[in-house]
Amino acid sequence: MGQVVADMSAGMSGVMANLGHKLGLYRAMAGAGPMTPAELARKTNTHERYVLEWLNNQAAGGYVEYDPKARTYRLPEEHAMVLANAGSPVFMAPGFDTVSSLWLDEDKVADALRTGKGIGWHEHHHRLFCGTEAFFRPGYRANLVDSWIPALDGIEAKLKVGGKVADVGCGHGASTIVMAQAYPNTTFVASDYHGESIETARQRAEEAGVADRIRFEVASAKDFSGTGYDLVCFMDCFHDLGDPLGAAKHARQALAADGAVMMVEPFAGDAVEDNLNVVGRMFYAASTAVCTPNSLSQEVGLGLGAQAGEARLREIIEEAGFTRCRRATETPFNLVLEARP
Ligand SMILES: C[S@@+](CC[C@H](N)C(=O)[O-])C[C@H]1O[C@@H](n2cnc3c(N)ncnc32)[C@H](O)[C@@H]1O
């Protein structure tokens, strides 16, 4: 009962967090010190009576601090980094759109469970696309250049001097842009089968000033163009693919002789019982509603699932003809595998 009530509270409060982000309530509180509901309402062009209720929800969840004597509310600086500051490496607020997309697509998922048919990424509510970008970007900003690429054998040096990278299933291009900013001498091919995502990725790259070094293409993971890549990245998309083996084989032939595949996958142990925790719970939900249906909607329809685990991923990598595969590094959310031809 306690768990269910906590989950219902979290579910409803997710909507409140999304409102806080979209109405600019968190941004207005960031760095502003203690505020009354009237001050916050004035600053955000919202109505005080509603803002009071919203603030009390936020205080009950620990997102803001309440001073009962002064009846003021404060967004602590470290909370503002997560909820208000879009430039911060831990900015998560727009990620709640991913959660809302699961509710909005609930009927489609129910049909999929009954019929066994797939749901393509492109068939989901558009909130999924921006929500996913927002959910993954902080991890890419925090880890990709500082930790994941340096963990690959000899790849960072090549990218610094001037290399060639393919970012497969790039979505809105969050990872491509982080890499393009860090390695100005390197060129990138960013591909995804979803045309709408590629359009957004192109815009994002233009805004970030790196579009001149990224070629965007609408292509499946089995037929993105180019060869001689120093690095082929699968950023949180390998398990989504209908035919991951076909994609791994295609990546292998696209690599330079001493190139590497970097596969960033949701963190998972090999056995179900290893994943029965809060992170695994979230990933199994996304896997049921998004990742597995996408895979089942495509050719082969392997349906790896978001918690496939390293051993299963390695089987596919080895079957594709890679001779070396290792866990290069990890975070609480990600496994980072390196495969070499
Ligand atoms: C979870 S999202 C990750 C997006 C992006 N890599 C990121 O980290 O933000 C999975 C992506 O895989 C793409 N995708 C799914 N099936 C694909 C396929 N067969 N070929 C290429 N991309 C595919 C989807 O369109 C989606 O953008």
Distance of CA 284 to the CA centre of its chain: 15
Centroid of ligand 1 to alpha carbon of 68 (angstroms): 47
226 vs 253: CA distance, rounded Å: 10
Centroid of ligand 1 to alpha carbon of 158 (angstroms): 26
Tens-digit pLDDT profile for residues 12-38? 999 999 999 999 999 999 999 999 999
301 vs 320: CA distance, rounded Å: 17
CATH topology of domain 2-85: Arc Repressor Mutant, subunit A (1.10.10)
Please give the C-alpha separations between residue 74 and each of 25, 63, 68, 80, 277, in angstroms, as whole numbers.
11, 9, 12, 10, 31
Q: Parse the chain into domains and list their residue ranges.
A: 2-85, 94-340
Q: Which residue(s) pair with 261 in the sheet?
A: 232, 339
- Pocket test residue of 144, 177, 193, 335 for ligand 1, highest count of atoms within 8 A of CB: 193
pLDDT at 295: 98
Tens-digit pLDDT profile for residues 264-281? 999 999 999 999 999 999
- Pocket test residue of 240, 292, 296, 333 for ligand 1, highest count of atoms within 8 A of CB: 240
pTM: 0.95
Among the ranges given (106-110, 139-143, 195-199), the one the predictor scored with the smallest mean pLDDT = 139-143
In this predicted structure, the answer to whether residue 106 has a pLDDT above a threshold of 90 is: yes
Instruction: List all residues whose CB is within 6 A of at least one atom of ligand 1.
Output: 121, 132-133, 136, 169-171, 174-175, 192-194, 197, 220-221, 235-237, 240-242, 294, 298
Tens-digit pLDDT profile for residues 57-81? 999 999 999 999 999 999 999 999 9
- Average pLDDT across the chain, whole number: 97
Query: Looking at ligand 1, which atom is closest to the CA of residue 291?
Result: 1
Among the ranges given (83-92, 188-197, 288-297), the one the predictor scored with the smallest mean pLDDT = 83-92
Give the CATH class of 94-340: alpha beta
80 vs 209: CA distance, rounded Å: 26
257 vs 324: CA distance, rounded Å: 13
**Plot region of 337 (φ>0 → left; ψ -120 to 50 → alpha; else → beta):** beta
- Pocket test residue of 121, 196, 214 for ligand 1, highest count of atoms within 8 A of CB: 121
**What stretches of the chain adopt beta strand conformation (E)?**
65-67, 72-74, 164-168, 187-192, 214-218, 229-235, 255-266, 324-330, 334-340
Tens-digit pLDDT profile for residues 48-63? 999 999 999 999 999 9
Tens-digit pLDDT profile for residues 142-157? 999 999 999 999 999 9
Centroid of ligand 1 to alpha carbon of 145 (angstroms): 21
Sequence-distant (6+) residues with CB within 8 A of 297 are: 117, 118, 119, 120, 123, 242
In this predicted structure, the answer to whether residue 42 has a pLDDT above a threshold of 90 is: yes
pLDDT at 3: 97
In this predicted structure, the answer to whether residue 89 has a pLDDT above a threshold of 90 is: no
